[in-house]
Structure 1
Amino acid sequence: MNRPHYILQPVSPLFITLSLTGAFMLNLLPWGRWIGAPDFVALVLVFWGIHQPRKVGIGIAFFMGLMMDVHDSTLLGENALAYTMLSYLAIMIHRRVLWFPVMTQAVHVFPLLVFTQAIQVLVRFIVSGRFPGWLHFIESFVAIALWPAITWLLLAPQRRAVDRDHTRPI
């Protein structure tokens, strides 16, 4: 109860675009083939789906999914389906999740990320008949470990006061 409550400034659409582009660029790096490397696009999409559901919705999630499908050379629509479902579920729970502290938010986001990975694994299994193994789901645990850092990083520009006044407490 003694946590400081910040009145956040409106988020800039340019910052949302830059954060999604940065997440996509992080997914382009070669560590994406390592076991446990998080899906940064999914993490940023679920963050903006919870914090700004009117600005980042299902359409942007579908577009980012198609971009990841092209990059990963996977079945066209695999990531698009998974990200669309992720965005829908994040928008559906966004009011409840924002009431909780960051670590409890991570507990709420974890099933969404696991569900997203399950959709991707199911589509791959239906198409190719191969199961990547249970180690594939470590990626969600790593993403949840990064949730506090991602939250702090993406909310930082909104916490600044436009005109700093040392006599104003908020």
Structure 2
Amino acid sequence: MKLIVLSDTHMPKKAKQLPDRLIEELKDADLIIHAGDWQTVEVYHELKKHAPVRGVYGNVDGEDIKRLFPSQLVFDAEGHKIGVIHGHGEKKTTEKRVIEAFEKEDVSLIIFGHSHLPLLRYYKNKLLFNPGSVTDKRKLPYYSFGKLTVSEEIQAEHIFFKTTEE
């Protein structure tokens, strides 16, 4: 099962359309996961043209997104429990907040966003995965999103890219 993971699209503020590099990967995706800060519901409508979409809302999302998506999500993919959350909040780091949010859940993988910083590492037995942002790389050299291949194992990777406008 191929999952494409993105977060912090902030559209149309940070981009008018999804990047070509992302669209290329969406062509054979089985599921798209968005970890919040969509900014507009049009992002959801565009993504669902490619594959089913699951996600959560983030701190910049309005009521239209909150009606479609929860603040936190747990689902099963090929026998693996996956948790999704945006990661915003008060005090502590984004990473500490997302770990605490799922401390009572037996998840294999926690997907989150908010910081725009790509991250792939284990904390105890949980894989932490932040895809970065496809539209707002901030001071990083590349935009990014995630690709997960889920079967008996979870293979996670970041796709880093530059846009043609750079």
Query: TM-score band (shorter)?
Result: under 0.3
Flag the structure with higher helix content: 1
TM-score by length of 1: 0.26
Rg bigger for which structure? Answer: 1
Q: Which of the pair has the greater relative contact order for Cα pairs under 8 Å at 6+ separation?
A: 1
